[in-house]
Structure 1
Amino acid sequence: MERERERERLEREKERDRERERDRGDRRAGRWEGASSRRPNSPPPYRRGYDGPGRRHEDAHDEGGIPPLVSKFVASLPAPQAFDGPVFRTDDLLTLFKNVSLPSRSPPPSRMRSRSPPRGGRPPPDYGPYQGPGDRGPNRRGSPGCLLGLRSMSRLSLQDVRVKTLAATRPTTPRDISGTITLTKEEDSICTLLDEFANHLRGSGEEYKGVECRIAGGWVRDKLLGIPSNDIDIALADIMGTAFAQKLQAYMVSRDLEDKSSGRSGTIATIARNPEQSKHLETARMNVLGHEVDFVNLRSETYAEDSRIPEIRIGTPLEDALRRDITINALFYNIHTRSVEDLTERGLPDLRQGIARTPLAPIQTFQDDPLRVLRCIRFSSRFGFEIAEETGNAMQQQSIQDALVRKIKRERVGEEFLKMLKGKSPLLSITTIERYGIYDTVFGVPPDIIDKTTGSQRPQSTGIHAASILCSFLDLVSTPLPTPHPELLKQTREDHGLRQRLIFGAALTPWKDMTYPYKKGHLPVVEHIVKEGLKIGGQTHFIPAVPRLFAAHKRASNPSLDKFDGPSQRASIGLLLRDGDVHNPRTGTHWSASLLFSMVQDLADLIDDQNTLNDVQAQRVVETYNVFVDRILELDLVKSIEEPPKLNGKEIGAVLGIKPGKEIGIYMDHVIRWQLEHPGESVDVCKTWLKELQQSLANGGSGAATPPAKRARV
């Protein structure tokens, strides 16, 4: 042992001698920077492997000059991430630091306010990925270091949010399309029957020699994509649909086929010609072996300049294919040869490549029927296809947009947009509408209304960003945005109509500040767009639910708990939730959806000219709503939202001895507030309190509560 120590000591002496020699060489070569700043008699500087006499430091440097423990620590760190935020100037950072409020220290446990458990023994909710008010989405650290870190100082790019949300929600379809169709047993039976009947008909007379049956349009497209379809439309050559159906009915009766499938086969219904609904020829609908089948003849169309109602004549299969909106809808399935016919020669390639393209020149196609612009957008969004460049360029032509306004009734525009909302990716549809410059054409307000409006229209991009933020929340897309409370998303998963109304409302954000004169008052412009601009007000509660989303935002914006301080926080919050604009199942509004929409609008209000959001402000907005929802659950208010008043109008009148009138309504407001303040109390206790309230008011008192400015929903 002593020999080893002596050997180490000699090695250290030799090392010091070598260092002195290197220093002398540096002085001679002019590389020496002066004497060491180390004070006399101070410990020697740290040297590789040295930790005092006879010992090697446990963190001694390796041959690369890095201590092993440091190397181990660096190796354990996660891989470095590319910085995706902007480069900040010093004054930008100082300004941001001034605006950041650091979280205060938590008080000692002895001084912390204890929260009573929720009523009814309800267990704490399982928040899943959300972990309470401190949850900040991808940045869930609530420390000052997080608030002052570069990530929190960055601005959130809404373009990034939109791209990620579209990528996560964009429909996908197979590309390995063989060009052949596999029929189900029922489809094979129908095709066999129609083939046999067509052969029978061709042999019955010279006028039927050219009769052929083809399945047209969407059924062929969907079957090639592997999507089940029951929408069987038969395109007939050389015979009208009604005549064919009548003869088919007689043929089925003669062969005792009318009783198959519960006796419904053979029934014919005639769909009258209705050009405004794109029914340009009379169609015969017949139940064939248990399936509804439409029969219509092949046709060619010629359009007048100022009308989308064409002149119709019987056409060839090619003419019928070329008149359709896009190539993937122009495919036929020949029942006799059992093969797919792509007469445009673009349908199958476009289906494989995921392209929406018009069969003819797009300018001609859209001028003939401008509604095809919206149909092209709807189908491209439905399948996640790209719109061909020449088709998209034609959509942006002012002449096409003018024709869409001039030739198409607003009901038809509304129907197409409603189908987009019900589709797989409404955000993609809305984004495509904005991309090709027809946002104002679809949602726009007529000049006679816009000239009378008050307020200003926001940029169209505001609607796209609001819809992107909303859809990222609804579809749980991982974005830089914070995570909303799961209770805000629960109802939208159960009610698809509610989801559609929220997305529709988000798309109308550019007009949310605008009103127009109506009779003796003013109405929101968004109400005019839904009710008159798109004519879809009566369907699935779009009127009044969509305008009420914006009214609810005005009441529920920034629901900080400080706003509800008072004698009873439970009553104040409960009255907000019972407000008819915030929650009313009869009109399609739900408190959670109203709060979610209000949060999206608060975030949209923060959008700057560069289409970005301040990270800290966005976190603050979402956290405010999350804390508010937590408080709603803690107070067990959800079941109180739709709870009927303890006393109805007649009972109030009987207790107080007053006649029906405004006074009953005032006392009804007091009853609702009282029952929110006193959950679980009996009707008798309420009656006693009501009499005391009446006496107090008679004596000049203010009562136990002040009625709200707007009547709560009862």
Structure 2
Amino acid sequence: MSPALIRTRQSPEPVQEFIKRRKLSSARAFNTANMSTSSRVLELTEVEESLRTLLIDVAKYIDNSPGHASESQVPLPDELAKQPLVLRWTGGWVRDKLLGVASHDIDVAINKMTGFQFGLRLKEYLEIPGNPEKYGLEGVASNESQSIKAESGKSKIVGGLHKIEANPEKSKHLETVTTKILGLDIDLVNLRKETYSEDSRNPQMEFGTPEEDALRRDATVNAMFYNITTREIEDFTGKGHSDMAQNIIRTPLEPYQTFKDDPLRVLRLIRFASRLNYTIESEARKWMKDAEIKSALQAKISRERVGVELEKMLRGPDPLMALNLIDQLTLYSTIFSDPVQDQTKVYTPDTDNWTTVINFVQEILSSKTGDILVRDAEERYLVWLLSAMVPYRDAPSPPQIEGKKPPPPIATTVAREGFKATNNVCTVITNSIKNHSEISMMVSNSYGRKRPAREELGMAIRRWGSTWRSQTAFALLVNVADEPSAANCKSKSQVYVDLSSKLTTQAHLSAFSNFLEYVHELDLLDVHALKPTLDGKALTKALGVPTGPWMKDALDVVMRWQLRNPGKKDTTEAVEEVRIAKDQSPTPGELIADLMTYFLQLTIRPLFVKTQTQQVTSQGRKVQTTVLPKKFERNQEEKTWKGRDSYALDLLRWVIVAADASLVEKNWHAIVPPLLSILDDVDTEYKAQGCELLKMLLDKTPPSLLKRTGLGEVFEEVLMPCLGYLPTLTPEDRSARLLTVAYPALLSLSAALDDPLTAQNSQKPSQRLKLLDNLVRKGVLMTFTYCPEHAKVTTVTTSSLSAILSSLGLDSIKHLPFILPMLCSILTHPFVTASPPLLLSSIKALQAIILNTWPRMHIHKTEVLKCVTVPWIRMQEEQVKGDDFDKIKEECKIVVEMLRDALQEHADEFQEDVEELIKVDARLAKLFTG
């Protein structure tokens, strides 16, 4: 054949264009007018022509300088050793060329050298200076980095050959070499004949003739060669041309032996039939579904190879045809099964409606629904793969082994073990099985007035994750599969059955289409990728709470708020809504209310459930029956809120600070139990924290709520014992710390106990008044009686006395005979100046006595004057200095002025007493005259 007959073209049709085609038309598939070996002309591209020239020149170089051939595990017959080197391009490249489709993969068959041997000589030839430039090349890659660059179609470096010397043993074993030349993937391999064993598809390889090599191939259309020397197409099976003309897939040899030798050819024939839109020859189909061949496919073929073929089918131009062939040839359970398990003891997949399912995928892809669910080639692949998993939709969950993670669904195991699906694909399958019921429910709820709110639907899609579209497609296919099989409707005509089935599937498609339109209408198609307005760092800073396990779900609460308020995208706005300043009482926003509910119900409550008090019901009311005292437990292991989960206290504090009266009432039942558990703890520090929290809560509690729930008495019973933690049984610092917060909490309780109108109309002493009286008698007076020598404790007691008397008002008079002597003993103590805080708090308590018991001051003026003059003289004698004592002196003068005001009706008598005191000690003049 004259070289003039060869025509080149500058721009080969990209192979991707072929993949995108759905089917090849018969007219385009093959031109029968040019089928003969002698006349059929292949149009080589410019790159292919350069490659052909290079290979011919290398063959001549080898023939002219045979040198020392490298060792090979494949013996070379003597008759071949004397022949010239002949190179052919084989298989798929020839087929695609005849179809008019470009291919960038070329298998080079060598008649008397292995690919390993030829690759070494090719590398040797290209390393000769000046040779690469003849073919538009720049040399051979010498390392992996250069070889990677050679992957580019525009690269002029030959890649891959350096690996021959880097891994000689591996290359010799495989006897093949893969390289990259001018952007083409080149496989170098010798012509071969193969001998197979019963238990493996890997043959014993020997050098063979072109005819033997052609006959060992999987299909006649893949068995034609292009002789690059003669430029002829060689059809050694004698059927390649005719089978292409008739669109037939046929095995070169008898099908049974072909499949028995290499059962993977069953899958390869399905792939080629679906790719080319060819029909598999009837004898081949017969043996493809033979039980012995299917057993061999399971036993001899690695599941990785099965997965490779399956993926090529589903990524090819017609996955539907491939899956239909698998179904028609009864190969489903052979391919989609777990080879590790005994198939007689595992779940049998429900394939009754599988044909309907896979055909329905095509309807999805061509519909409006498909435009949303399938956006790219990867999602197209996933929807076809998921359709193959639908028969496992109802498989029972595998039993869980104690102490281990729940096992994946059976469908996932089938994918992982049956065809070695990637981790990403397995995750999609797992999530599809897990979520399909929820997705279907969401679809059904998307009709009518009770459509899911934006936040509900958005959070659901975020739970489903980035592959929610594929999962939704799976749910749609499950709904179709779960419809009663049309084939079972024997009482109806076939036309009626087909129409009924069609209407049913269209109803499902319409339902899911409406659902997706609703998702689009709410602008939620990409909600899975929506970033929270607040991240974890900003949230913890706004709350003033350390990080912890609570953060993940708390951020979901923030996301719900964000979904409800799509217009609020400013991070500052969200932070300000969460942050609550101590000196402000803003009306809590919607986000705060949501966070409160989450923290109380899902974070705080579970941590306190084992230590929950028995005094309160689950509704936050007082238990009316008799409650036995709780058994003392030294083991604190159950109180994780004191250890690793201590963040719960910070969250509870934030909840109480952030709440207003309405939110306190709404969440009362959830706030009170953990508070009582904290107050009930044996550790005084936690009791102190409980007192602080309870005070903040009571300051926001309406009196009607305490009365309705009956918890006023419960709080009093919990708080009053805190006043008994006194030295020396309790260290003075701890005692003072607890008393400092217990008294304010009790005062807040007294303020919240009575409704003012109810108290005014009642003839009996109010609960509030009883509690305040108890604070004086069982608190202040008892503390001073038991530990008067502990200055810190006494300072807290006298400071609290001022607040108590202010709350009692004139009702303080009944306590005057007891509290005034107490203060007198403190203020006249010889070493009173040793503790300025105690001296100051006592003077202020004296002021509170005058203010609230003024009608009795003319009776007790002598004691009051003694309380103020003695410490004044002490300070003068000791010549104390400093801001503390300056403050005390000013407060003493205020006492005198308050007493003078209280004794206005006895002003002359009081003035005489003052003058007499100054006469006795002139140092008092400044006290009385300023």
**Residue aligning to 1:29:** none
In 1: Cα distance, 2:332 partner to 2:252 partner: 25
2:51 maps to 1:190 = yes
Moved more, 553-562 or 397-406: 553-562
2:385 maps to 1:504 = yes
TM-superposed deviation, 1:599: 2.3
2:352 maps to 1:467 = no
RMSD of aligned Cα (Å): 3.3
TM-superposed deviation, 1:437: 1.3
Counterpart among 467, 472, 490 of residue 372 in structure 2: 490
**Residue aligning to 2:432:** 549
2:63 maps to 1:202 = yes
Q: Is the 8 A contact 2:115 2:176 kept in 1?
A: yes
Q: Unaligned 5+ residue runs, structure 1?
A: 1-167, 477-483, 706-714
Q: Is the 8 A contact 2:393 2:478 kept in 1?
A: no
**Residue aligning to 1:638:** 525
**Residue aligning to 1:230:** 104
CA 1:625/1:461 → structure 2, altered by over 3 Å: closer, same or farther? same
TM-superposed deviation, 1:378: 0.8
SS of residue matched to 1:523: coil
2:567 maps to 1:602 = no
CA 1:236/1:270 → structure 2, altered by over 3 Å: closer, same or farther? farther
2:51 maps to 1:175 = no
CA 1:508/1:201 → structure 2, altered by over 3 Å: closer, same or farther? same
TM-superposed deviation, 1:352: 1.3
CA 1:683/1:566 → structure 2, altered by over 3 Å: closer, same or farther? farther
SS of residue matched to 1:699: helix
**Residue aligning to 1:422:** 315
In 2: Cα distance, 1:392 partner to 1:675 partner: 58
Deviation by residue 1:155-182 (Cα, 9 ceiling, x = unmatched): xxxxxxxxxxxxx954435131423212
**Residue aligning to 2:514:** 627
**Residue aligning to 1:516:** 398
TM-superposed deviation, 1:211: 1.7
**Residue aligning to 1:102:** none
In 2: Cα distance, 1:347 partner to 1:254 partner: 40
Q: Is the 8 A contact 1:564 1:572 kept in 2?
A: no
Counterpart among 453, 461, 471 of residue 569 in structure 1: 453
Deviation by residue 1:377-426 (Cα, 9 ceiling, x = unmatched): 11111101100111111111111111111111111111111111111111
**Residue aligning to 1:534:** 419
Aligned ranges for residues 257-268 of structure 1 at < 5 Å?
Answer: 257-259=131-133, 260-264=136-140, 268=161
Q: Is the 8 A contact 1:326 1:359 kept in 2?
A: yes
In 2: Cα distance, 1:574 partner to 1:279 partner: 58
Structure with the higher helix share, 1 or 2: 2
TM-superposed deviation, 1:659: 3.6
Aligned ranges for residues 284-683 of structure 1 at < 5 Å?
Answer: 284-288=177-181, 291-446=184-339, 448=341, 457-458=349-350, 460-474=351-365, 476=366, 486=368, 488-490=370-372, 492-493=374-375, 495-514=376-395, 515-520=397-402, 521-538=406-423, 541-558=424-441, 559-561=443-445, 569-579=453-463, 581=464, 583-584=465-466, 589=467, 591-610=468-487, 613-614=500-501, 617-638=504-525, 640-681=527-568, 682-683=573-574
Q: How many residues align?
A: 514
In 2: Cα distance, 1:667 partner to 1:363 partner: 63
Q: Is the 8 A contact 1:234 1:294 kept in 2?
A: yes
SS of residue matched to 2:132: coil
CA 1:702/1:370 → structure 2, altered by over 3 Å: closer, same or farther? farther
TM-superposed deviation, 1:632: 2.5
Deviation by residue 1:134-157 (Cα, 9 ceiling, x = unmatched): xxxxxxxxxxxxxxxxxxxxxxxx
SS of residue matched to 2:218: coil
In 2: Cα distance, 1:616 partner to 1:435 partner: 25
1:499 is matched by which residue type in structure 2? R
TM-score w.r.t. the length of structure 2 is: 0.51
Counterpart among 243, 252, 255 of residue 117 in structure 2: 243
Deviation by residue 1:495-514 (Cα, 9 ceiling, x = unmatched): 21111111111111111111
TM-superposed deviation, 1:342: 0.4
CA 1:511/1:437 → structure 2, altered by over 3 Å: closer, same or farther? same
1:551 is matched by which residue type in structure 2? K
In 2: Cα distance, 1:224 partner to 1:517 partner: 55
TM-superposed deviation, 1:548: 1.6
Q: Is the 8 A contact 1:261 1:290 kept in 2?
A: no
Q: Is the 8 A contact 2:250 2:284 kept in 1?
A: yes
TM-superposed deviation, 1:335: 1.2
TM-superposed deviation, 1:656: 3.0
In 2: Cα distance, 1:196 partner to 1:372 partner: 35
Moved more, 423-432 or 282-291: 282-291
Q: Is the 8 A contact 2:542 2:575 kept in 1?
A: no
In 2: Cα distance, 1:471 partner to 1:449 partner: 34
In 1: Cα distance, 2:556 partner to 2:235 partner: 68
SS of residue matched to 1:324: coil
SS of residue matched to 1:261: coil
1:508 is matched by which residue type in structure 2? M
Q: Is the 8 A contact 2:223 2:237 kept in 1?
A: yes
SS of residue matched to 1:629: helix
SS of residue matched to 1:497: helix
SS of residue matched to 2:394: coil
Moved more, 240-249 or 391-400: 240-249
Q: Is the 8 A contact 1:219 1:229 kept in 2?
A: yes
In 2: Cα distance, 1:606 partner to 1:567 partner: 24
Q: Is the 8 A contact 2:132 2:138 kept in 1?
A: no
Higher relative contact order (CA 8 A, sep 6+): 1
SS of residue matched to 1:557: helix
In 2: Cα distance, 1:470 partner to 1:642 partner: 27
Q: Is the 8 A contact 1:405 1:441 kept in 2?
A: yes
TM-superposed deviation, 1:240: 2.5
In 2: Cα distance, 1:280 partner to 1:471 partner: 44
Aligned ranges for residues 97-246 of structure 1 at < 5 Å?
Answer: 169-172=22-25, 173-177=28-32, 178-179=34-35, 180=40, 181-204=42-65, 207=81, 209-246=83-120
CA 1:293/1:564 → structure 2, altered by over 3 Å: closer, same or farther? same
CA 1:671/1:313 → structure 2, altered by over 3 Å: closer, same or farther? same
CA 1:408/1:565 → structure 2, altered by over 3 Å: closer, same or farther? same
TM-superposed deviation, 1:312: 1.3
In 2: Cα distance, 1:567 partner to 1:633 partner: 14
TM-superposed deviation, 1:292: 4.1
CA 1:659/1:214 → structure 2, altered by over 3 Å: closer, same or farther? same
In 2: Cα distance, 1:194 partner to 1:249 partner: 12
SS of residue matched to 2:509: helix
Q: Is the 8 A contact 1:231 1:293 kept in 2?
A: yes
In 1: Cα distance, 2:430 partner to 2:82 partner: 57
SS of residue matched to 1:310: strand
Identical-pair percentage: 34
